[in-house]
Amino acid sequence: MVQERPTLEKIMASKTKKAKASAALVAEKSEEAMIAGILEGSPDGIGVVVVRLECGCRKMAAVAKDGEPASKVIIYRDQAESICDKCKADNGDFMRVTETFIHWVQPEPTEEEKEIISVKVLGTTPRTN
């Protein structure tokens, strides 16, 4: 049975004006632990897309070199046993996304590769200047 693999862009639905995609954003300590866990289970992952929702929940998924998902999308809430009721209802709708960025695995890809992947995943080019 072939399962359709939606693009990360669709899953993360981060193409929103509200969401800031920036190379300046870095993972918080609590997020780092989750990122490490995701990468452990995703050997193809060269980075993890981190989506911060206004409710405090987080969405993450590993991304492969070609910009395709390298893991399932994980949604969780720090310090909580389950995600909030809003997220249970809308699965972390993009309308409620506040920040999105990619945490790159060290050594990081080249700037060119990062840009290609960022555009594919986030629908925008991070600004670093």
CB of 93 to Zn ion, least distance (A): 10
Residue identified by tokens 């190379």 is 23
Tell me the C-alpha distance between 91 and 119, whole Å.
23
CB of 88 to Zn ion, least distance (A): 8
- DSSP E strands: which ranges in the chain? 20-21, 45-53, 57-64, 74-77, 97-104
CB closest to Zn ion, residue no? 57
Instruction: Report the residue number, 93 or 111, with the smaller CB distance to Zn ion.
Output: 93
Instruction: Report the residue number, 84 or 116, with the smaller CB distance to Zn ion.
Output: 84
Instruction: Report the residue number, 86 or 120, with the smaller CB distance to Zn ion.
Output: 86
Are β-strands 20-21 and 97-104 bridged in parallel, bridged antiparallel, or unpaired? parallel
Binding region for Zn ion (CB under 5 A): 55, 57, 84, 86-87
CB of 103 to Zn ion, least distance (A): 20
In one letter, which amino acid is 128?
T
